[in-house]
Structure 1
Amino acid sequence: MTGWVRALREAVLDASALVAPVDCAGCSAPDRALCPACRAALHPSPRSAVLRAPAGAPPLPVVAGLAYEGVARAAILALKQEGRTELARTLAPALLVAADRGWAAFGRADALLVPVPGSPEAARQRGFHPAALLARRAGLAPRPLLRLADAGDGPQKGRALAERLDADRRISTGRRLDGCAVVLLDDVVTSGATLLAAAAALRGAGALVLGAVALAATPRRVGSAAVEWSTGPAAGIPSAPPSSAAIPSGSRTDASRMRMGEPLTHAPPGD
């Protein structure tokens, strides 16, 4: 960013702060949605993992753009809990980096990006779906093909992985998706139970689930709900697609079309 552009941006932010006072979501400094230091802390730091479900279900490779800690955690919570949607544009580059790495590894430029569903109650309270909003700010085109069949059984925090999976079996899709390649989308991955349940629902509808991308990943914990994240290539996620599944010529154009929200080649009927 050139000096005059930076100065102009700061002047616009100063003027905006007079009209609508705001504090930094990361450190509470006045007059900025994110101060320069906290903005810099959101530089993408991609990581990957492979989620493994019980009972022999296929593993699910995942790529996330940030660690869910520090400034990233504070900004995501401000977005989700305080409705500070202005933060989505600053968080979006990390999601886009995760999506780019995911598509390169999964090897299908025509895959549909499908957000995991949030609860209807949360959607009514917020007025937006966090992961879908972040995707749109990143220039991606999420397809809401999943839904919650009922209100569920309360929060997931503190549950073992098997309990989380049982609670998330309410995820369903109302149509057949035979032959559709799908990449799942989430905002924050903790145990991965919601992603695994969403993958199972999509496979049940005939979709080919390639993997998942997310904005942030909770650092490794202990116990059955722990996920081992790696900032290098993870087992099961190639750093480049194998020759048998190479991304075809022109795939970047296809990916750009998807990001701009234009129709995809293999969109399911009725979408």
Structure 2
Amino acid sequence: MRGWWQDLSDLVLPAQCAGCGRSRTPLCVRCARAVRGAGPGRVTPTPRPPGLPVVHAAVPYEGSVRAVLLAHKERGALGLARPLGEALAGAVRAGLPVGGTGAVALVPVPSAPRAVRARGHDPTRRLAYAAAAGLRREGVAVRVLAVLRQRRAVADQSGLDARQRRANVSGALDVVGGAGGLFTEVGRIVLVDDLMTTGASLAEAARAIHAVTRSATAAGERAAGPGMAGPITVGAAVVSASPDSFEINRN
């Protein structure tokens, strides 16, 4: 966990760009431009895990973008949350219907409790709040619902192939008790994460969300009458994804 002296040193000592190492700036102009990207796009991993919703990503996971994400996630460079959150907001916006006016809920994919303790923060939740702030400035009715939790421990995903990752996270998430009713207040749920590799975590998060939204929608229909409560749409947005997942969608 970061100590107070580390936070203080970030303020008073010359910083290095998290993306390229250039001195006296936490994020140089060139790397900030790389994080913003040329525009978000739809991404699809291969193989595509069953149940994966439509996913939009801001930028490919490579070069300075990879370095910036790791600095925020693993080294506690919390000042990077704003530019990364703005990139995530762009990916969220890309998946929203044109002219849509319904409320949107950002649901962060939870980190393992042991990882949060080791890092001293939950990077995905932090980015979700940063993205929501940016979307609100643009007039989007959005809220963050950090309602997913791990119901059992999972292994470190690094080093696992797509099939192993699906097995590792299968059934690992659920929605905290009593939170399902919150979904009736929004028309669209967007699962958010910092990175998508195989899509296994997002597919598992979508499964957990669908398990409660089906019940919430049925309850809303009983209360409002048939046809009065519309279905809840679930999508996903990430800051970054494998370059190959972008290339698939260009073909």
TM range (shorter): 0.7 to 0.9
Report the 3-state secondary structure (helix = DSSP H, G, I; strand = E; otherwise coil) of the residue aligned with 1:60: coil
SS of equivalent to 1:205 = helix
Matched, 1:47 2:41: yes
Determine which of 48, 59, 65 is the counterpart of 1:66: 59
Q: How does 1:235-250 map to 2 (within 5 A)?
A: none
1:164 aligns with 2:165: yes
Shift of the 202–17 alpha-carbon distance from structure 1 to 2, 3 Å rule, reads closer
CA deviation after TM superposition for structure 1 residue 228, in Å? 5.4
Alignment partners' CA distance in 1, 2:161 and 2:82? 34
List aligned pairs for 1:20-59, cutoff 5 A.
Answer: 20-44=13-37, 45-50=39-44, 52-54=48-50, 57=51, 59=52
Compute the TM-score of the two structures, normalised by the length of structure 1: 0.68
Deviation of residue 90 (structure 1)?
2.0
- Deviation by residue 1:92-122 (Cα, 9 ceiling, x = unmatched): 2211111111122795732321111110011
Partner of 1:148: 150
User: Pick from 85, 89, 94: which aligns with 1:92?
Assistant: 85
How many residue pairs are counted as aligned between the two chains? Answer: 208
Shift of 1:218: 1.7
CA-based RMSD of the aligned residues comes to 2.7
Report the CA distance shift for 1:196/1:108 in structure 2 as closer, same or farther (over 3 A): farther
User: How many Å separate the matches in 1 of 2:98 and 2:166?
Assistant: 26
Relative CO higher for 1 or 2, CA cutoff 8 Å, sep ≥ 6? 2
Q: TM-score, normalised by structure 2?
A: 0.73
Q: Could you tell me whether the CA contact under 8 Å between 2:55 and 2:236 is conserved in 1?
A: yes
Change in Cα spacing, 1:108 to 1:184, as seen in structure 2 (3 Å) is farther
Q: Secondary structure at the match of 2:193?
A: strand
Pairing 1:180-191 to 2, within 5 Å after superposition: 180=184, 181-191=188-198
> Which of 213, 223, 248 is residue 206 of structure 1 equivalent to?
213
More helix by share: 2
Question: Which ranges of structure 1 fall in alignment gaps of 5 or more residues?
Answer: 1-15, 221-226, 235-271
The ranges of structure 1 where at least 4 consecutive aligned residues each deviate by more than 3 angstroms after the TM superposition are: 105-108, 178-181, 227-232
